[in-house]
């Protein structure tokens, strides 16, 4: 047996991360201290947005965003089914209605041609759209922004996979995902498999002061001490709850990790580019389809997704060799809850269903060594050589 045990993604924790958490543990604050605002400020600067609000996870970030837009049963929101259930669940939490649009067959994000067709065919039906920068690949937000403006839609971006991703605009300038140049808000996750690992954690970025202030309130039970928002003021202890919120706070320990992880994000992204380039180079002669890389797109490579007709056998073979690949995603419209409550069914979205039958996320993470990656490549090669010989 070899010495490796390789997941598809995992955190990379440095001594500086550990020292930072220990220092925070010894400080006066475990929650609601200075680390959270420091992380928010640094993250906002990294993505180029005016405001950032940290919260307990990516799901909470999405929920804060839908609540801030006051999504309700009157709203129809369109998204794509190639995502984790949390994206569209955030609309359902608010009582809103979810519709889906199929994915683009080459980049696996929302198909903007199909979306345009749906919006033109249903004028006035939709109030919002939620694109997902799947695997770290940036959706063309400039085109989506124009479409949304034409149809009067708000946009919440799910960028849980995509800190650091960017795309080139028509004028040649780069637009960073999270800058909210073409959207109301962008949501991120700091789950350990993501670029920035806080254990659990999330962030919403926005350029709207109004949305930012609403989310601050919603993050802490809907409770405030802000004198401008109080009906009366009985004294320094006094607070009021003008809206129904949640406890969606990030702790100081998590924020401390977020700060030091963010310090190495550029190194992390560069390493992911190198890993991707090595896969492109080494897997191109095998009967697998590799991800698309278009000019004018900077892929953040949360995931490296290959497609193969032999997905199940390959996954088993890799597992037998201590390599733990994963499938992203089981289409959301095929989840039992969605089928039961939205009436969706197999055959509704043929492009993602075909994609789902073949996709496999192979190891891609910051601390993946060249030796480990070469072992993954060799094992994939061995699989295809064995299957050619009829052994699999």
Ligand X SMILES: Cc1ncc(COP(=O)(O)O)c(C=O)c1O
Nearer to ligand X, 194 or 321 (CB): 194
Residue holding tokens 């050589």? Answer: 385
9, 20, 44, 58: which one binds ligand X (CB under 6 A): 58
Count residues near ligand X (CB under 6 A): 14
Scanning 5-13, 156-164, 176-184, 260-268 for contacts with ligand X by CB under 6 A, the matching segment is: 156-164
How many Å apart are CA 277 and CA 341, to the nearest integer?
42
Footprint (CB under 6 A) of ligand X, residues 260-289? none
Footprint (CB under 6 A) of ligand X, residues 67-96? 83-84, 86-87
- Least Å distance, CB 66 to ligand X, is 12
| Burial tier of 208 (Cβ tally within 10 Å: 0-12, 13-18, 19+) | middle
- Least Å distance, CB 185 to ligand X, is 13
Site string for ligand X, 105-144 (x = CB under 6 A): ---------------------------x------------
DSSP line for 98-129: EEE-PBPTTT-SB-HHHHHHHHHHSTTT-SEE
φ/ψ (deg, to 5) at 217: -70, -45
- Least Å distance, CB 186 to ligand X, is 12
| Burial tier of 319 (Cβ tally within 10 Å: 0-12, 13-18, 19+) | exposed
HSE (side-chain half, CA atoms, 13 Å) at 187: 30
Scanning 2-10, 157-165, 252-260, 277-285 for contacts with ligand X by CB under 6 A, the matching segment is: 157-165
> Quick one: angle between helices 311-320 and 370-388, nearest 10?
130
Determine the residue with CB nearest ligand X: 58
- From first CA to last CA, the distance across the chain in angstroms is 20
Contact by Cβ (8 Å): 291, 326: no
Nearer to ligand X, 6 or 303 (CB): 303
Scanning 158-166, 208-216, 238-246, 357-365 for contacts with ligand X by CB under 6 A, the matching segment is: 158-166
- Least Å distance, CB 115 to ligand X, is 18
Q: Where are the beta strands (DSSP E) in 1-121?
A: 6-7, 51-55, 76-79, 97-100
Nearer to ligand X, 82 or 224 (CB): 82
- Least Å distance, CB 254 to ligand X, is 11
DSSP conformational letter for 177: T
Contact by Cβ (8 Å): 230, 217: no
202, 258, 291, 331: which one binds ligand X (CB under 6 A): 202
Scanning 25-33, 52-60, 63-71, 330-338 for contacts with ligand X by CB under 6 A, the matching segment is: 52-60
How many Å apart are CA 244 and CA 99, to the nearest integer?
26
Nearer to ligand X, 58 or 128 (CB): 58
20, 40, 49, 57: which one binds ligand X (CB under 6 A): 57
Q: Where are the beta strands (DSSP E) in the chain?
A: 6-7, 51-55, 76-79, 97-100, 128-130, 154-158, 166-168, 174-176, 185-189, 202-206, 297-298, 304-307, 323-324, 359-362
141, 160, 359, 380: which one binds ligand X (CB under 6 A): 160
Using CB under 6 A as the criterion, which residues of the chain lie in contact with ligand X when the complex forms? Answer: 57-59, 83-84, 86-87, 132, 158, 160-161, 189, 191, 202
């Amino acid at each position: 047996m070899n010495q490796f045990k390789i997941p598809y993604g995992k955190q990379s924790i440095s001594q500086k991360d550990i020292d930072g958490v220990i220092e925070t543990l010894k400080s006066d604050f475990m929650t609601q201290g200075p680390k959270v605002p420091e992380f928010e400020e640094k993250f906002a600067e990294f993505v180029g947005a005016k405001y950032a609000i940290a919260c307990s996870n990516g799901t909470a970030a999405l929920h804060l965003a839908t609540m801030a837009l006051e999504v309700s049963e009157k709203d129809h929101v369109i998204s794509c089914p190639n995502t984790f259930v949390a994206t569209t669940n955030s609309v359902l939490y608010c009582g809103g209605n979810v519709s889906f649009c199929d994915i683009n067959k080459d980049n696996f994000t929302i198909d903007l041609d199909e979306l345009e067709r749906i919006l033109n065919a249903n004028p006035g039906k939709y109030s919002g759209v939620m694109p997902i920068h799947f695997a770290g690949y940036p959706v063309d937000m400039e085109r989506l922004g124009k479409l949304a403006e034409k149809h009067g839609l708000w946009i919440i971006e799910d960028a849980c996979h995509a800190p650091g991703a960017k795309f080139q605009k028509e004028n040649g300038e780069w637009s960073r995902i999270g800058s909210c140049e073409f959207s109301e808000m962008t949501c991120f996750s700091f789950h350990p498999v993501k670029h920035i690992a806080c254990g659990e954690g999330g962030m919403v970025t926005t350029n709207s002061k109004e949305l930012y202030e609403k989310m601050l309130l919603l993050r802490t039970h809907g409770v405030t001490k802000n004198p401008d928002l109080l009906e009366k003021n009985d004294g320094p202890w006094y607070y009021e709850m003008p809206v129904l919120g949640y406890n969606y706070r990030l702790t100081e320990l998590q924020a401390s990790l977020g700060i030091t992880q963010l310090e190495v994000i550029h190194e992390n992204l560069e390493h992911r580019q190198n890993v991707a380039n090595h896969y492109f180079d080494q897997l191109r002669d095998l009967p697998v389809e590799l991800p698309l890389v278009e000019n004018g797109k900077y892929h953040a490579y949360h995931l490296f997704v290959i497609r193969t007709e032999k997905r199940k056998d390959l996954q088993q073979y890799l597992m037998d060799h201590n390599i733990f690949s994963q499938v992203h995603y089981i289409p959301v419209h095929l989840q039992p809850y969605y089928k039961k409550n939205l009436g969706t069914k197999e055959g509704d979205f043929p492009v993602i269903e075909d994609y789902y039958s073949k996709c496999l996320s192979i190891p891609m993470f910051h601390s993946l060594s060249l030796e480990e990656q070469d072992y993954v490549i060799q094992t994939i090669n061995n699989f295809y050589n064995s299957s050619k010989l009829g052994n699999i």
